[in-house]
Amino acid sequence: MIVFFSGTGNSHFVADRLAELLSEKCPTELRGEMLYDPMKCRLSAIGEKRIIWVFPTYSWGVPPVISRFISEVNFTGAQAVTHIMVTTCGDDIGQAASQWRKLIGRRKWISGAAYSVTMPNTYVLMSGFDVDSPELADSKLEHAPERIDEIAERIKNNIEGDLVTKGAWPRLKTSIIYPYFKKFCMSPKPFKSNGRCIGCGTCSRSCPMDNITMEEGRPKWHDRCALCLRCYHICPCDAIEYGKATKDKGQYFLK
pLDDT at position 230: 98
Query: If you average pLDDT over every residue of the chain, what do you get?
Result: 97
pLDDT at position 33: 96
Q: Residue 116: phi, psi to the nearest 5?
A: -130, 150
Give percent above pLDDT 70 in the chain: 100
Same CATH topology for 2-183 and 191-242? no
Query: Topology of 2-183 in CATH?
Result: Rossmann fold (3.40.50)
Check whether domain 191-242 has CATH 3.40.50.2000, yes or no? no
pLDDT tens figures, 11-42: 999 999 999 999 999 999 999 999 999 999 99
pLDDT tens figures, 174-194: 999 999 999 999 999 999 999
**Residues 144 and 94 sit within 8 Å (Cβ to Cβ):** no
pLDDT tens figures, 199-254: 999 999 999 999 999 999 999 999 999 999 999 999 999 999 999 999 999 999 99
Residue 47: band (very low, low, confident or very high) from pLDDT cuts 50, 70, 90: very high
pLDDT tens figures, 114-155: 999 999 999 999 999 999 999 999 999 999 999 999 999 999
**Beta-bridge partners for 191:** 242
Angle made by CA atoms 151, 60, 109, in degrees to the nearest 5 = 60
pLDDT at position 216: 95
- Whole-Å CA distances, 64 to 56, 59, 103, 201: 11, 11, 11, 26
Residues 6+ apart with CB under 8 A from 245: 124, 125, 126, 127, 190
pLDDT at position 161: 96
pLDDT at position 255: 78
